[in-house]
Chains A and B, each alone.
Chain A
């Protein structure tokens, strides 16, 4: 019961926080849309087929999740340390995994609204053709991607517990390079099989490729990385591994940070 109450308690500020400043939502949709629009116009300038507009809009919507992982999952315990909340988490009579899970649940809710906004606006503004071959498979891939992705986010939050200002810079560093190797704006196969395989550690790589295959089967015929079934299986394995690792890593790094006196060290 305490576990569930903690999950809800940590998810609550993320859900209700969106209501406090509604204009944030507008910016959260508008800013990624600027980037998406620029990339759509590049594809149009070089005469790409209309499906590529769909690739960009889908990738642009998924950037919201990766940004949420970096800035509101991985870096969150660093922010909590800077604002003096981390010690309260440590002395609270509850599971730290429940706190991380609450962050993930709240993050998924808030980010999904943004991602839907970007996707909807992108589809409307750029008249993106979308004809999924299987809606249940598409939803399944999306959900498996989110589980694996937020499992990775929980694992990263544990690792970032040790860091000070490095956390901010490392999160910043993981933006464009991940957008590149995970194929947010083009099919990841273009990077070669081995690079795509390495990039699959970030679940969005597999998720995006599978979703593109389900939405644009003909266009993806020569561009797919792996069959959808294999990608779905890999996402399930990644999800389980990340969640288990997050549980172990949280305990290990919390103890390490406690021993090295880094839990309450601010402004490093």
Chain B
């Protein structure tokens, strides 16, 4: 097969996966209810943090920790969406729709198909994140003047971070291929651990020292640090203050590269094992 044919197949798989993902996510209801559904959950999640803060601060939102919490939480919406959006497809296609075996029988690129299925979730997350941030600026008065935002840094790190999440999602998808009864826990567990360890809603400095080191080893930590520096002008983590913004981006890029290699190698291995053990059409009555 030539590179051109392979490229065409990958692009087609991505496109079809994205279209299918969008249909599955959205066509269960009308557009209005779907829009409400997509926005209410993340905004409610953000408001939990707002009220937790308000009940202690008794009304004051001036503490610099508040924008830190709010912005971190808003961008974290992508973490759950991309990780679960990609890894859950394996269960959905294998057990709910019983289609995974046909995917392997069809002329498609399974990696780009899985990433395509995650695109719909990413699109929904983009709307939710945007609305959450606008809510923060418009209603809660978080100070983010557009002129002070480093748009280049924001765009660059945003794309890098999404790529890291997509590769992590593929890695989890590989693990999901081999598991029968822990599918749900894998995605939720990793997303939950990242929430705790990546300084999403509190600075890394608050964590016990051992956990701080774990946090410093995670790409999402550097992604959020870079995004906060781009949006707020300050990452907020004392533990990372000694790193220049260039270094933070470099660490993010390098860790994304490592994750890319690891996820592809692992997914290929998991595919081979699943094929050998007959797990591609496994039914656990999920």
Contact = CB atoms under 8 A, between A and B. Distances in A.
Interface of A: 21, 23-24, 27, 30-31, 34-35, 37-39, 41-48, 52, 83, 164-166, 169, 172-173, 175-177, 179-180, 184-187, 190-191, 223, 267-268
Contacts of B203: 45
Nearest to A181: B44
Contact of A31 (B28, B52, B185, B285): B185
Given A27-B185, A175-B41, A185-B52, A38 B200 contact: yes
What 7 A-B pairs have minimum CB-CB distances, sorted nearest first?
Answer: A34-B192, A176-B44, A45-B202, A177-B44, A27-B185, A48-B56, A165-B28
B35 interface: no
* A21, A166, A177 — most chain B CB neighbours (10 Å): A177
Nearest to B69: A42
Interface of B: 28-29, 37, 40-42, 44-45, 47-49, 51-57, 63, 65, 69, 97, 181-182, 185, 188-189, 192-193, 195-196, 200-203, 206-207, 285
Contacts of B55: 186-187, 190, 223
A118 B55 CA distance: 24
Interface class of chain A by DSSP? helix
Contacts of B181: 21, 24
Nearest to B188: A31
A44 B204 CA distance: 12
Contacts of B28: 164-166, 169, 268
Nearest to A21: B181
Given A31-B185, A185-B48, A186-B52, A42 B202 contact: yes
B51 A46 contact: no
B189 A30 contact: yes
A239 B126 CA distance: 41
A27 B181 CA distance: 11
Contacts of A47: 56
A45 B66 CA distance: 10
Contacts of B188: 31
B182 A34 contact: no
Given A23-B182, A44-B206, A34 B48 contact: no
Contacts of A175: 41
Nearest to B184: A27
B202 A172 contact: no
A23 to B, nearest CB: 7
A70 to B, nearest CB: 13
A45 B189 contact: no
B44 A180 contact: yes
23 contacts: A24-B185, A27-B182, A31-B192, A38-B195, A41-B196, A41-B207, A42-B49, A42-B52, A42-B69, A45-B202, A46-B53, A46-B57, A46-B63, A165-B28, A169-B29, A176-B40, A176-B44, A179-B48, A180-B47, A190-B54, A223-B55, A267-B97, A268-B28
Given A185-B52, A186-B52, A38 B202 contact: yes
Contacts of A268: 28
Contacts of A46: 53, 56-57, 63, 65
A39 B65 contact: no
Most buried by A among B48, B56, B69: B48
Contacts of B54: 190
Given A31-B185, A38-B195, A180-B51, A173 B69 contact: no
A45 B199 CA distance: 11
